[in-house]
Structure 1
């Protein structure tokens, strides 16, 4: 191994992200209920939330590309790419906070 500590952390993050994909179909099916109320189609925040949830597997696949940087000995970039999924989670949380504060 080139850097055992980095390799173990990359493996740990990737396993957790792949395990989280097991519940993804259920969550995606429940996103339909975001538009359950009669006026829910008027709010942009509902659409943003559904698009973020629908693009979740893209983030997981992008985070798996961290091994390309690891093998090129760019360990800092490998860690950044492996934690790319946290931007999706942060965006989801920020949209939830913003929609509770403002009606958009």
Structure 2
């Protein structure tokens, strides 16, 4: 093991993001209700939020690339790549604030 602290942090983050994928089908099902109002199809924000929610599995999968940087020894990049799912969360919060 090259860096035990980095290994523990990256493993914890990846397990946490992996566990959130179990809740994703429920979140995806609930996103259908964004289009409940009769005029909701007219607003671009509704579609933006729906597509943001649909794109969630991409971020935990991309965060698995942190192990490539870990094995290369660039731990700062590994931490940044591991936290890609948090960028998705920030985008979702901004979508709800803007719309």
Give TM-score scaled by structure 2 length: 0.98
Alignment of 1:23-38 (within 5 A): 23-38=23-38
The residue number in structure 2 matching 1:95 is 95
Residues 71-103 of structure 1: per-residue CA shift (max 9 Å, x gap): 01111000000001111000000010111xxxx
Residues 32-78 of structure 1: per-residue CA shift (max 9 Å, x gap): 11001000011111111111111100001000110010001111000
Alignment partners' CA distance in 1, 2:52 and 2:61: 15
The residue number in structure 2 matching 1:58 is 58
Does residue 1:86 correspond to 2:83, yes or no?
Answer: no
The residue number in structure 2 matching 1:73 is 73
Query: Which aligned segments of 4 or more residues in structure 1 are displaced greater than 3 angstroms?
Result: none
Residues 4-58 of structure 1: per-residue CA shift (max 9 Å, x gap): 1111000010000000000100110111110010000111111111111111000
The residue number in structure 2 matching 1:11 is 11
RMSD value over aligned CA atoms? 0.6
Give TM-score scaled by structure 1 length: 0.93
Alignment partners' CA distance in 2, 1:44 and 1:91: 15
Secondary structure in 1 aligned to 2:22? coil
- Report how many residues are paired: 99
